[in-house]
Structures are given as structure tokens and as C-alpha cells.
Structure 1
Amino acid sequence: MPAFRSLLLAGILCLQGALPAMAQAPNPDLAELDRLQTLVQRNSAEALQALQAEAPRFASAADADTRRTYLAALTDAAFETGQAAVVTQAIAQLKALAAAQHDVSAHVLAVAFEARQLAIAGKTRAGLDALARETAAAEQATDPWVRWLYHLTLGVLHSGNGQFETALPHMLRSLELSRTLPRQAATAELRSLTHLEQLHFDMKNPERALQTIRETLPLAERLGARQAQGWLHLHRGNVANVQGDLGTAMSAYRQALAIARDGGLAGLRATALNNLGDILLQRKAYAEVEPLMREAMAAYRDAHELSGVALAQANLGFSLMGQGRIAAGVQEVEASIRFMREAGAQPMEEQLLAELSRMYEQAGLYREAIDTTRQQQALARDLFHTERDQAVAALQERFNSAERQRQIEQLAQANRVQDAELRVRRLQQIGLAATVALALLAAGISFWQYRRTRAANAALAAARHQAEGALAEKNLFLATASHDLRQPVHAMSLMVEAIGLRNSDPVLRPLVADLRTSMQAMSQLFNALLDLSRLESGQPVGTQGAVDLNALLADVVRLFREQASLGGLALRLRLPRGGATVWAEPVLLRQALTNLVQNAIRYTPQGKVLVSVRARGGDWLVEVRDTGIGIAVAEQDRVFSPYYRGERADQMADAGHGLGLAVVARCAEQMGATYGLQSRAGRGSCFWLRLPAHATPAAVAPAGPVAMQAITADPLRGRCLVLDDDPHVLKAWRAMLDAWGVTAAYASTGAQAHARLDAGFEPDAIFCDQRLGPGDSGFTVLRQLLARCPQASGAMVSGELQSAELSQAEDEGYLVLRKPLDPAALRPLLETWLARQPAHTATP
């Protein structure tokens, strides 16, 4: 028996040692699938053929992991080769596996692949909604490769939908997960890096995208991943195209096209062809574009990318129009525009309309060009209003939420304080009627109650602090949002100036005038938002002093006289003969008076507006009277609140956004002035501002900036260096400065700017954007450039409300220009700078 027990124990020990070894033994099926998944990155067509041949082995395997991995590899290869039927069948098999085995990983894979299908068909929003419903399931998936694919797909779809800030964390999460995978780590990392560099490019960071391409290409070459190499070369071409190096871009696109044709990659082939066609269209090589676009459309159809088919079809139409086949070309372009409209891709529709208008003008069809431009302008206006309304609605909701919370806290604290006071009174009554011992006890209870009251007061102070914090947060959000919105408006203002100077067609002049009017309206909205944010945050604006009220009002009325005349209004000014001097802050006073006059003109369809000054005791009373629509009594208490507009205001075409009078109120409060109104509905209004008089005219401060003169068409002579990391803004600068006759060099980084100087470019003027790419400080770069060019003048261009860097620049005497730049103010400044410089003998 002892011998038997020893043998039994030895057998058990051997079995215990063998079980872990069996568990760790590699699965040959999974190893073979890993090889085939790597092959997908090298040659998708070959990998798909091999996977389909191995279907009897893997599709019916007993191990659910093997079946799931096989279906995932099959679907990936089918996507890359454009085999839509294979994709649909594989997704159905994944769903069946998920239902039969209760496999969460298979279910998440099926949803991710379906979302990718929807995005290819132009339904990206539906794909994102489907993925959002599976967030919890994805995090519970046992297969780490599934979690990686889920975050990668989310990032790619958000990026394709233009939500780049939302896409970035998912891309970075997929990259992090790829490096921890027990299998397929290298190929997963390669795919994550490829999509990440494309996201950097979409976020207008070409330098970062190019750096990621350089880091990723060695990994793709080591894995022999021809497909990834093709996409990386294509993205390298996109970067070169944005930077203006068209020769390098075309070479990179041809490399990508060769790889796509060798590997049977329909999607890559279509994209490379379409990008080549874009460059040839820029060069007006229309005959070369036509065959490329027909091949691209066929490739997009093979890949089942309908949005790509529409883009290639539009380029085909432009090539036909360029060859003189106008009717055939217009038919193709309009079909593409209809697809974009039905798919809800309004930004792309607006771009196609703009290009179609340009082609009409090139063909001499000016009436068609004007009609198409009007459609494009209407769509652009709708896009702007939609974005603006969404931003204002979100801001108003946050402000209302903070205000409601503050009121609730104040009411709760008031109730607690009232309860405390009642308890104290009861205790005092008990103390008067009790003995000395009870009086001592009452004193102790009173002390305890005092501590509770003090705690209640502390809670009330905390609630007030919380409300002030919410207001500060709202102001910070407003300043940031205004900066982001100012950037495209800044580019548009420069482009409109260039178009106006180059336009010689009298038919297009009214359209250019409408563009200038729209730009002024957008600038007024941004300025009002920033003024309100700055005033509510309590930021100092300036110091108070004596201000010549007569001169200031004359200047303000002069600004609006033409606008009133065009609207059929009589704008009159009545001033005291002996002059009027007030004690006020000049910037705030000018802003308040400007808003009052503008408000009166806006809400007076016909009649007159009278601006007058009268003495009232030791003060001066400024009144702005109008014969406009008036304000009902029930609404008069709210007209100075932000975003409030009366019921009748909604019936007017240009009723503003409810910010002008709110700015007037904040300006008056900061200056210590009083303000108010008298109005009758349908009869007109009188808004007034009362300011303390000042009796020393010798100390009167300047009234403020005078009106800018109209821009002349005389060319300028000189050299200018412009730095901005936004390629669209650089194009706008180039268009405007070329129209003014200025010789200019452009750079997107500090290193590029110094390279321009090293190459011999000697600027007379330097304009440097405050926000450059990572590693560059606009202020630091400007100082370095001016140190190298002591003969040059310079300015920093910024869209921010306030920052430490801006304060430092202004304290050190540097000129800071705020976006969007007004060409009417910029040109006189540039004329002054260039006039101080000697003439150059040669051009670079």
C-alpha cells in the first residue's frame, strides 16, 4: 500500500506539471491566422484568397476564439479589396457566433464592422450612434484585439465626420492598446499609427503628420506591409500638397498608386487617382484629368465608397468643362452635388458650388456663375448661422444652469438662516422664564446655535463663490470659442479684400459688397461677445479721465451716417455750444455710445434718430432718441440683459443677438455712470446715459480712433514676411498682399521663417501669428526675427481676448493686432512702415 500511494502521488504531481504546459501550448490555428492577418497588410487580395480557401478549417472550428479571429481577418481583407458581399456575409456569421456562444467579443466586432460599412456608404453618423451603444460591451470584451479595433474604428469615424478633437483620444487609446496585445501587436500598432498621422493632417498640423509618417514607414517596411506603405506615401503627398510642393505630392501619389495596383487595393487606388486629378486640375491639365477620374470612379465603385464616387465624378465634370464640354461637365458636377446634399455633407456641397462657379466664370458664363455663387453664399450663410446658433445655445444653457443653481443655493441658505433666527428667539424666551441654571443652559445652547449660524453663513459664501466660478467659466468658454471662430473669419476678411481689388466685372460688384457687409456683421457679433465677456469678468480696460463728449459723439455719429442714409433714416446730432467734458473711461464710453446709436438705427425702419447732450445739475445727459418700433412696458426691465430680444425684434431681418445693450449696461456700471430708457411700443424709444461733468477742458483725453479712409487701389512697394500655421490663412494673406502689389514671403513655423532670411529675403514688415505650431511661441519668434532685421517693423496677430504673452508684448511696446484684421485699417499701417524703408534693388 505505501508503494501504491507513492506511485499515485507521483502521478498526481506529473499531471499537475503537465496541465500548465498543455495550457501554454501554442494553438496552431491561431498561429496560422496571425500569419494571414499579417499577409493582409502585404497583399490583401492574396490574403483574402487564402482565407477563403481555409474556410472549412477555420469557419467550423470548435474553438470560438479561432472562429472569431478567422471572421475578423476575413472581413478586414474583404474591406481592403472592396468585396462588399464577403463583408456582409462575415458580419452575419459573427452575429450568429455571438448569439450561439454568448460571445461579447464577436458581437462588438460585428457592430464595429457594420459601422465601418455605414461610413463607407456615407452614413457616418449612423455608424457612430451604433458604436456609442456598445461602449460598455467593448470594455467587457475578453479579447484585447477587439477593444483595440473598437477604439480605432471610433477614432476613424469621428475623424471622417470632422470631429477631430473627439477622435484624438480614441486614436491614442488604440495605439496604447496595440502595444499590449499578446498577438498581432506590430500590425495593430502600424494601423493605429497610420490613422493617427492622417488625423494630425486633418487637424491642420502637417509637420506633426509628416513626423509620424517618418516614424511609421520603417515599421511598415519591416513588416512588408505594402498596403500601409501605400497609404503612408499617399498621406505624404497630401502634406506636400498643402505645403505647396506639388512635384513631391505627385511623386508620392504615383508611388501609392503603383502599390495599390500591384496589391489590388481598390480604395487606395481610387484615392491616389483622385488626388492626382486634384493637382492636375490646379495646373489646368484638363485632358489628363478625364481618364484618371473615370478610372477613379470605377475603383471607388469596386470599393463601394459612394462618397468617393461623387468626389471623382465632380472632378470629372470640372475636367470636361475645362475642355469646353460644358453641358456634359455640368451634368456630372450637379449629380455629385445632389449626392452631397442628400448625404447631408453641406461643407463639401458648398466647396463644389464654389468651384463650379469658378469654372462657369472661366468659361465666360457669367450669369450661371452669379447664380451658382448665390447658391454657395446662401449655403455658407446657413452653415455659419447653424454653427453660431449652436455655440450661442450651448453658452446660454450653461449660463442659465449656473444661474438656476445659484438661485437655489441662495434660497436654501436664506431658509436655513431664517430657521436659525427662529430657534434663537425661542431659546431667548425660555431663558427669560427659567432659573439661573436654565439661563446658563440657554446660553450654552445659544453659543451652539451661533456656531450653526456661522456655518450657514460660510455655506452661503461658498455658494456665492460657486456662482462666481460658473460665471468665470462661462466667460472663459466664450473667449475660447470666439478665438476659434475668429480664425476663418480672419481669412475671409483678407480674401474679400483681395477679391474686391481684383474684380473688374461690374456684375460681380454687388456680390463683393454683400460679402463685405456679411464680414462686418460677423465681426460685430464677435466683438460684442468679447466685450461682454471682458466686462463681466471684471478685467481692467483703462483709466478714467476727462473726455471731450462733443468730439466723441461727432466721431460716433460720423461712423453711422452713411449706414443711416442708405436705410432712409435722418441721423442728427445736437451738441451744447460751450462744449461738454465728462469724467469717464474713454474706451468704455466710446463702446457704450457706439452701441446705443447702432441699436437705434437697427430698430428704426423709417424716420429719424436724434443724438443730443444736455446739462443736468452737475452731470451731462446723453440721449439717443428714435422713431422706431419701441419696447413694450413688460419687456423694458429685461432689455439690458444678455441675449434678450423683444417679441417684435424677431420680425426684423437685422435684429442683432441681444448683446449690444448688455454691453452698454456693463460699460456704464464700470464707469460709475447711470443709464436707462423711456419707450412706447410702436412710437419709438429714448435711451440715456448720465455722466459726471468735468470742468477742466485742458486735460481732455482724445475721443478715440478716427474713421479709417477707404483703401486706394495704388500698389504698394516693399517686402513683407507673414507667419501663420493655418494654410488657409496664409493663402488669404497671399491673395491680399499680391493684390496690393507687396512682395511677400510666407512661413508656418519659426524655422521656416529663419530659412527665408537665410536665403536672402530682407523684409520691411513682419506679421507673426501668436499661435504657431507645437514648440513655437509667436512672440518669441517675432522678437528673434526683428532682432535679425532691425530695419523692419513688426506686429503680432492674435485672436485671443487676453493672455500673459499678449500683456508682455504690449508692455514691451510691440504692436498687437486683433483678428479678424480690417484691411481698411491694415493698409495705412503697412503704407507707413514701407514708406520708412529704402527701395530694394532686386527681388528674391
Structure 2
Amino acid sequence: MACQRTKNLHSLVFAFFLAVSPLSVADLKSDQARLEAIQLLSEKDNQAALKQLKEFYSELPPNSEYQLRLDVLRELSAAYFDAGDIAESDKINLEILNLARARQDKETVAVMQIDDAFKLRDAGKYEPAIAKLNEVAASLKGSTRADNLLRLESAYAMIYRAFSKFEQALSHQLEALRLTDQLTQRKTLAKIRRLDALASLYLLMQNPEQTLLVANEALVLASQVDSPKIIAGLRMNQAMALCDLKRYPECLVAYERSLNAAQEANLPKLEALILSNIADLHLRTLSFTRAEMVARQALKKAELIQDLPSIYNAKANVGFALGGQGKIAQAMEFLNPVLDRARDLGDKADLEAVVGEIGRMYEHAKMYKEALQYTREQQKIANELFRADRSKTVAALQEQFDADQRKKQIELLARENQIKDADIKNSRLQQIITLLGAVLTIMGGIFIYMLYRKVKQTNERLEEVNQQLEYHSVRDPLTGLHNRRSFLDLMKVRSENVEHDRREDDGESPDCLMIMDIDHFKHINDSWGHSAGDAVLVEVAKRLRSAVRDSDMTLRWGGEEFLIYAPKTKPEMLMPLVDRVMKSIGSTPVIVGNNAIPVTISAGYISLPFSGVPEEACNWEKAMQLADMALYMGKVNGRNRAYGLLRLLAPYEQALPELERDFSDAIRQGLVEVAIIQGPATSQ
């Protein structure tokens, strides 16, 4: 983007060149008009603009105006970047920095250091990147250059966004949008670009509805300018939002419009990205042949500009498209280089995602040995990521929890206000009763009776509302089962009474925790629709209630996960309970309309206290974690089965850490006795 000049700088530059330069005022105006024409061209055809910029810069005399040379270099850097030539763009940026230092232009030097912050971001160094931006902000303190301040705010937003600090990113993005009103040139284009960035941020924040609103607002503004480059970016954000909303036909239309605009603007890097996104859309909709065709187009385009991230992204899409067609060997020819690159870069998040997809590809092809191999590798990588990101994840969850709590507090306050309003109405009714009784005893008595009935009905309604509120606060709205909150409250009470209960039963009747997950639930949603998925959840809940004792607690843990808490369950009754639950779910299919949907579950179960281990060493939360690991073992070993931890075969000081570190290995070492209960055979 070209740098805007202030009036004072404009006057100083003119005075200087009128005194010492052979250039005339007419020459300067002609050069500025030429640059503005190229800027407009860059919005329509980047390659043509790049060619003209290179010619323009080569024709600039050594004594050309500093600001003009600076503006030409900035436009040249942006054009190289849009063309996918990052190395040449970086080279031009270095030339800008050296030019600004030679002219002692401290503000431009500060702005160019924003590139250093982006390099720190790309290296995963969040705090140093923000510290670098803070240095730039200190250098720009008191600046009146709206364009430079806008660059700084946009950089803050991009770096906070890269590290999932969405609240801060949104604040800086909105400030950048506000600064566009202070620009003196190309104000509308700048505003559209900020709206485009804001739409992209909302998309990352998993708010596709807001993304569409902002993108549509920007598209209305874009009708005022002739910029296929802008249209391409806006249509791509629009398409990704529609894809998240599963409006796939509209999404494909938006992607095609974005691709047409990128081709019109001659932006090969953006073309490769859009083609990869279209291929991914076809993969989502299981159109593997189309996905392969489009992914190969993306690969060809990416190889043409030698953009490595785009090349490997396209190779991954080609591989998964081939895998979807059952061409596993050909698929791995494309996927193995992707795996090698992710390992070389140390990008465990991408590696975990690709390995997981390959595992699912092998599973879909019924090559279970290879699927298990990749699933185990994915689990290993996921465990490493979990340990590395544990503190960050906990902080994010705490922040989300606090936000949820604030929302609940607001809702409770609103309900309290409703109750207070009702109390005020009751008070007024009682005053009316007293007044009427004093005026006419007989008539007052009649009115008092009538009003008393009304007050009673109001109080009964209030009592009913309060009971409903209490019910819904501890129940899942879909299944009617207890929810996670009610279980956490119960565990809190249990923890307070654990010493008393231990002395009372002496461990002869421990509690039982059984966590379950519906097998292939995503397949149910994809094949029969989300309404059928909801019907399956309701029926599973009904069968679980019928399979357990009245004293047992059955709850929906979240999504397709359920939990049974069976207090005071004798050891000899534990495995029959689990077997009864497995059969109640899997013995008969769930009937939804005219469809018979086979449903099975995988489960993990454990006693509490576990194997005589003090609850200070293995409390309910750790027991849940072990049961969840057992559930995962059921998943990776074929589903439709329950893994149970019966007892430790080694001192708990030795066995528990091994179980937490590598569950499968602890079983192989004989540190724990495990029981496996197979579910009923189904046609699935």
C-alpha cells in the first residue's frame, strides 16, 4: 500500500526540490499521476502493474523525490508479494529500510520493523513479536500519519490472531477500521480491506454468521471501486463462512466467483489457495474425483510460482482425493512428502492432523493394520502436543469458563428481576385488597376472595417457573438426563463425605464410573441427518435409564458421550452392569422414520476408590481420566466394546504414573488387570 504524505512533509519536499533539483513541479505531478494509475491497475491486474512498477522504478533518476521513491518501492514490494515472490518482496523491503535510514526517516524505519514482528510470529515467538510491535508503537507515539498507525493496528490484530488472542485481535482490528476514516487517499479501498480482515477474524472465531454480515457489507462498498483483487478476498471469506454453515452449493458458487476475480487480477498465489479450498470442499462432500481434478490444478499453479506451503497443501488434497477413491498406493505417493515436510519443520499440529486423516483413510479402505499404526502415531503426537500446550489450554478453558459464568450470572439476574417484578405486583394486589375491605365489608370480602385466588395462582405460577428453572439447570435439554453440572455438584458433595463413607462401608461396595461414546456418530449425522442424530441420542438416553438402577445417575457428558455413576456397586455386580448397558444399546437398532439405524457404543469403566488406592492419590477426576483412556482403547481396537480397569497388579506409586504416561504399554507390562466386554453383534 502506498504511503500517504502529510501536508508539512509535502511542503518541505517541494521547497527542497525547487531549490536544488532540476526536476520541475510538472515532473513531480506527472510521476504522482503515473503511480496512482499503476495503483489502480494493481487492483485489476497484478502482473501488468508489477511490470509497469519495475519500469517506473528503473526510470527514476538518482535525485528523484524521496517520498515518490518510497511510495514506488512500497507498491513494488506489495506487487511481488501478491505475485507469490516473497523473496523479492523481502529484498525490496530491505531497500526501503536502508533508504529510510539514509534519510533519517525515523517513522518509516519504525514501520518497516513490523516485518521483524511477523518473522517472530512465524517462528512461534508470541511474546517477542508483541514486544517488537510495542517498540514500534513507542516510536510512532504522537504520529499524525493515519496510514502508519493503521499498519501498526493491523499488525497487532494479525499477531494476536495468530496466537488465538481473539479479544485483543478484534479490538485492534476495529481500531484499524476506525483509522480508515482519517486517511486522505484511497479511503474506500482501505476500509474494504479492513472489513475483509475483520470478516476473516470472525471466521477464525467460529462466527460464520458475523463473517457473512461483514463480508456482504464490504461487497456493497466494493461496488464503488474496480478491484478484482478485493473481490477475490471477500468472496473467499464468504465461501469459507458458507462452508462452515454447511451451505455447500452456495459455498461453491462463492469460491468460483473468488477464483474468477483472482484470475482476472492475475494473482497466482491466491488462485492456488482458492483452488485448494475448492478441492477441500469436494473432499467434505465426498466428491473425490472432482476433488482430485481441482487439487491437481492447485498443485500445478503452486508449482508454477514455487510457493511451498501451497504445493504441500495441494499434494495433501490430491492424496486424500485418491485415497477416497480407494487408490491408496497412489495416495501415499503424494502424502508421504507432506508427512516428511511436517516432520522436518517440527510442525506437530499439522503432522497430527495429516496422520489422523491418513489413519481414517486406511480405516475407510478397511486396511485396519495400517489404520491402527497411524492412529497410534496420531495418539503419540497428540499426547506430546497436550503436554506442551497444557498450561495454554487450561488458561483458554478457564477464560471460556469465566465467560460462560458471566453469561449465566446475567441470565440469573434477569430471572431475579422477573421474580421481583412479580413480587411487586403481589404487593400491589394486597394493598388493593386492604383498601377495598375498609370501604365495603361485604363487597370487599368478595373482592378479597377473588384477588386472593389471583395472588395464589400467580404464586403457583412463580413456583412452577422456579421448579422448571431448577430442573433445566441440572438437566440436558435434549435427552432429559442429568448434565455435567449436576455431576460436578454431586462429586463435590462426595469429596466432602469421602472419609465418612470409607469408614461406613470399608471399601466393600465402591462406586462405579462408566463413560461411553456412540460409535460412528458423525457417520449417522452425515448419512441420516442431524434430526436423526438427535433421535439416536434421545433413544440411547432412554435405553441407558432402563438398564441401570434407580439409584444410579445417568448423564449426558457432552456431544455423543454419556456417563453412568453407580454408587455402592458390589464388585461382582460391576461387569454384569456393563454388559447389560452394552446390550441395551446395541441389541436392537434405533428406528427413525422408515430407517433402522444400528447403534453401538464404546466404553471405559472403573471403580472408585480404585483398587484400594487412597483417593488422595486417585480421586474421581483421575479415575475419569483412566476410564476415558480405556474408552479410547475400545475405539482403536474395533469399537463396540468396553474396557474396564479391575485392579492394579503393582504398587500404585509405580502403576499410576505408567498408566497416565502410556495406557497401552502399562497393560502390556502387566501393571493393571483389564476386562473387555464385547458388545452385541450388529449389521454395521
Mark yes or no: TM-score above 0.5: yes
Corresponding position of 1:590:
494
CA distance in 2, matches of 1:155, 1:36: 29
Q: What does residue range 521-540 of structure 1 map to in structure 2 within 5 Å?
A: none
> Structure 1 206/740 Cα, relative in aligned 2: closer, same or farther at 3 Å?
closer
Q: Contact conserved, 1:34 with 1:183, CA < 8 A, in 2?
A: no
Answer yes or no: is 1:823 the counterpart of 2:567: no
CA distance in 1, matches of 2:558, 2:152: 40
Higher relative contact order (CA 8 A, sep 6+): 1
CA-to-partner distance for each residue in 1:56-77, whole Å, 9 max, x for gaps? 4557454332222221111111
Q: Contact conserved, 1:84 with 1:304, CA < 8 A, in 2?
A: no
CA distance in 2, matches of 1:136, 1:52: 34
Q: Contact conserved, 2:43 with 2:265, CA < 8 A, in 1?
A: no
Q: Contact conserved, 2:359 with 2:370, CA < 8 A, in 1?
A: yes
Corresponding position of 2:462:
none
Tell me which amino acid in the other structure corresponds to 1:591. S
> Structure 1 344/176 Cα, relative in aligned 2: closer, same or farther at 3 Å?
farther
Alignment partner of 1:280 out of 251, 271, 282: 282
Q: What does residue range 661-676 of structure 1 map to in structure 2 within 5 Å?
A: none
> Structure 1 479/143 Cα, relative in aligned 2: closer, same or farther at 3 Å?
closer
Q: What does residue range 680-829 of structure 1 map to in structure 2 within 5 Å?
A: 743-744=531-532, 822-824=561-563
Tell me which amino acid in the other structure corresponds to 1:47. A
Corresponding position of 1:65:
67
CA distance in 1, matches of 2:61, 2:558: 61
CA-to-partner distance for each residue in 1:2-36, whole Å, 9 max, x for gaps? xxxxxxxxxxxxxxxxx99x89x996244543443
**TM-score (structure 1 length as normaliser):** 0.47
Q: Secondary structure at the match of 1:68?
A: helix
Q: Secondary structure at the match of 2:246?
A: coil
Tell me which amino acid in the other structure corresponds to 1:220. A
Q: Contact conserved, 2:236 with 2:274, CA < 8 A, in 1?
A: yes
Corresponding position of 1:356:
358
Corresponding position of 1:270:
272
Deviation at 1:210, TM superposition (A): 0.1
Alignment partner of 1:373 out of 372, 375, 400: 375
Give ranges in structure 2 of 5+ residues lacking alignment.
Answer: 1-10, 16-24, 407-469, 471-486, 540-553, 566-579, 585-590, 597-684
CA distance in 2, matches of 1:284, 1:478: 34
Corresponding position of 1:90:
92
Deviation at 1:161, TM superposition (A): 4.5
Deviation at 1:324, TM superposition (A): 4.3
CA distance in 2, matches of 1:478, 1:743: 28
Corresponding position of 1:218:
220
Deviation at 1:198, TM superposition (A): 0.6
Q: Contact conserved, 1:270 with 1:299, CA < 8 A, in 2?
A: yes
Alignment partner of 2:503 out of 612, 631, 634: 612
Alignment partner of 1:250 out of 229, 237, 252: 252
Alignment partner of 1:326 out of 328, 331, 339: 328
Tell me which amino acid in the other structure corresponds to 1:67. R
Q: Contact conserved, 2:521 with 2:533, CA < 8 A, in 1?
A: no
Tell me which amino acid in the other structure corresponds to 1:45. Q
Which has the higher mean CA deviation after the structures are superposed, 137-146 or 362-371?
Answer: 137-146
Tell me which amino acid in the other structure corresponds to 1:357. G
Which has the higher mean CA deviation after the structures are superposed, 815-824 or 325-334?
Answer: 815-824
CA-to-partner distance for each residue in 1:603-641, whole Å, 9 max, x for gaps? xxxxxxx9433xxxxxxxx9889xxxxxxxxxxxxxxxx
**TM-score (structure 2 length as normaliser):** 0.57
> Structure 1 318/66 Cα, relative in aligned 2: closer, same or farther at 3 Å?
same
CA distance in 2, matches of 1:291, 1:59: 49
Deviation at 1:739, TM superposition (A): 10
CA distance in 1, matches of 2:268, 2:132: 26
> Structure 1 360/150 Cα, relative in aligned 2: closer, same or farther at 3 Å?
same
CA-to-partner distance for each residue in 1:85-121, whole Å, 9 max, x for gaps? 53133112212112211112332343334656787x8
> Structure 1 587/290 Cα, relative in aligned 2: closer, same or farther at 3 Å?
closer
Alignment partner of 2:301 out of 299, 302, 310: 299
Q: Secondary structure at the match of 1:54?
A: helix
CA distance in 2, matches of 1:186, 1:75: 22
CA RMSD of the aligned region, Å? 4.9
CA distance in 1, matches of 2:174, 2:491: 47
Q: Secondary structure at the match of 1:823?
A: strand
Q: Contact conserved, 2:555 with 2:564, CA < 8 A, in 1?
A: no
Deviation at 1:182, TM superposition (A): 1.7
Tell me which amino acid in the other structure corresponds to 1:354. G
Q: Contact conserved, 2:202 with 2:210, CA < 8 A, in 1?
A: yes
CA distance in 2, matches of 1:367, 1:483: 45
Give ranges in structure 1 of 5+ residues lacking alignment.
Answer: 1-18, 396-474, 485-541, 543-558, 560-584, 598-609, 614-621, 626-702, 716-731, 747-761, 767-814, 832-837
Q: Contact conserved, 1:190 with 1:220, CA < 8 A, in 2?
A: yes
Answer yes or no: is 1:480 the counterpart of 2:482: no
Q: Secondary structure at the match of 2:81?
A: helix
Deviation at 1:480, TM superposition (A): 2.4
Deviation at 1:216, TM superposition (A): 0.2
Q: Contact conserved, 2:228 with 2:264, CA < 8 A, in 1?
A: no
Deviation at 1:220, TM superposition (A): 1.8
CA distance in 2, matches of 1:374, 1:483: 37
Deviation at 1:278, TM superposition (A): 0.8
Deviation at 1:214, TM superposition (A): 0.6
CA-to-partner distance for each residue in 1:227-267, whole Å, 9 max, x for gaps? 11011111111111111122111121111112222221022
CA distance in 1, matches of 2:225, 2:119: 27
> Structure 1 238/390 Cα, relative in aligned 2: closer, same or farther at 3 Å?
closer
> Structure 1 740/138 Cα, relative in aligned 2: closer, same or farther at 3 Å?
same
Q: Secondary structure at the match of 2:182?
A: coil
Corresponding position of 1:50:
52
Corresponding position of 2:40:
38
CA-to-partner distance for each residue in 1:38-66, whole Å, 9 max, x for gaps? 33223222222222221145574543322
Q: Contact conserved, 2:111 with 2:136, CA < 8 A, in 1?
A: no
CA distance in 1, matches of 2:513, 2:371: 33
Tell me which amino acid in the other structure corresponds to 1:102. Q
CA distance in 2, matches of 1:306, 1:98: 32
Corresponding position of 2:338:
336
Aligned residues: 460
Alignment partner of 2:178 out of 176, 179, 184: 176
> Structure 1 107/591 Cα, relative in aligned 2: closer, same or farther at 3 Å?
same
Q: Contact conserved, 2:517 with 2:560, CA < 8 A, in 1?
A: no
Using the aligned pairs only, state the percent identity.
23
Alignment partner of 1:76 out of 66, 75, 78: 78
Q: Contact conserved, 1:194 with 1:213, CA < 8 A, in 2?
A: yes
CA-to-partner distance for each residue in 1:682-737, whole Å, 9 max, x for gaps? xxxxxxxxxxxxxxxxxxxxx9x996889799x9xxxxxxxxxxxxxxxx986677
Q: Contact conserved, 1:81 with 1:267, CA < 8 A, in 2?
A: yes
Q: Contact conserved, 2:555 with 2:562, CA < 8 A, in 1?
A: no
Q: Contact conserved, 2:255 with 2:274, CA < 8 A, in 1?
A: yes
Tell me which amino acid in the other structure corresponds to 1:83. D
CA distance in 2, matches of 1:480, 1:82: 43
Q: Contact conserved, 1:178 with 1:189, CA < 8 A, in 2?
A: yes
Corresponding position of 1:316:
318
CA-to-partner distance for each residue in 1:160-182, whole Å, 9 max, x for gaps? 45443342222222212222112
Considering only CA atoms, is the larger Rg found in Structure 1 or Structure 2? 1
Deviation at 1:138, TM superposition (A): 4.1
Tell me which amino acid in the other structure corresponds to 1:77. A
Tell me which amino acid in the other structure corresponds to 1:168. L
Q: Secondary structure at the match of 2:503?
A: strand
Corresponding position of 2:107:
105
Corresponding position of 1:684:
none
CA distance in 1, matches of 2:73, 2:515: 69
> Structure 1 587/263 Cα, relative in aligned 2: closer, same or farther at 3 Å?
closer
Corresponding position of 1:636:
none
CA distance in 2, matches of 1:47, 1:221: 21
> Structure 1 36/60 Cα, relative in aligned 2: closer, same or farther at 3 Å?
farther
